[in-house]
Amino acid sequence: MKSIKIEIPSLTENIRMIESFIDNAKEKFQLDDDIYGNIMIAVTEAVNNAIKHGNKGDKDKNVKLSLGLEDSMITFLIQDEGNGFDFQNLPDPTAPENLEKPGGRGIFLMKHLSDEVSFLDEGKTVSLNFYIN
């Protein structure tokens, strides 16, 4: 398995580094534009959640991002240093009472843009899988 890793302090401006990381992966693995777009949105959303919710914006805590490629699947692991969360009981962002709320759509987006999403280590790690062929 080919693997690439990056670690960033929990600052929202570091999302730019994540975008560059994904741009480099697009070039290196010749990802088509549709998959690239899905990866960009889902992974940056996961990293943003790790910064804001997992690490609570604590710049002394890091977010780790790794990419693994095996056969026709590319996997991104996003790991924070927070306490995890209850990923089994998330509010439905499409429910009428939640439509006007400004947040709460990140995991919904990840699930719809990725081929597979799983939460590990009590929610401190998110795995996003994308089929590339």
pLDDT, residue 122, reads: 95
121: number of Cβ within 10 Å: 10
pLDDT digits (tens, 9 = 90+) for 36-64: 999 999 999 999 999 999 999 999 999 99
1: confidence class by pLDDT, cuts 50, 70, 90: low
Per residue in 60-114, pLDDT tens? 999 999 999 998 999 999 999 999 998 888 777 788 887 887 777 889 999 999 9
Q: How many angstroms separate the Cα of 1 from the Cα of each of 42, 61, 70, 71, 95? A: 22, 28, 5, 8, 40
How many angstroms separate the CA atoms of 106 and 48, rounded?
Answer: 9
Which of 83, 77, 57 lies closest to 118 in space, CA to CA?
Answer: 77
What is the SS3 assignment for 41?
helix
Q: Which residues pair with 6 in a beta bridge?
A: 65
Give the integer Cα–Cα distance in Å for 38 and 22.
Answer: 11
pTM for the structure as a whole: 0.93
Q: How confident is the model over 16-39, as pLDDT tens digits?
A: 999 999 999 999 999 999 999 999
Computed over every residue of the chain, the mean pLDDT equals 93
40: tokens are 């960009």
Q: What is the pLDDT of residue 2?
A: 73
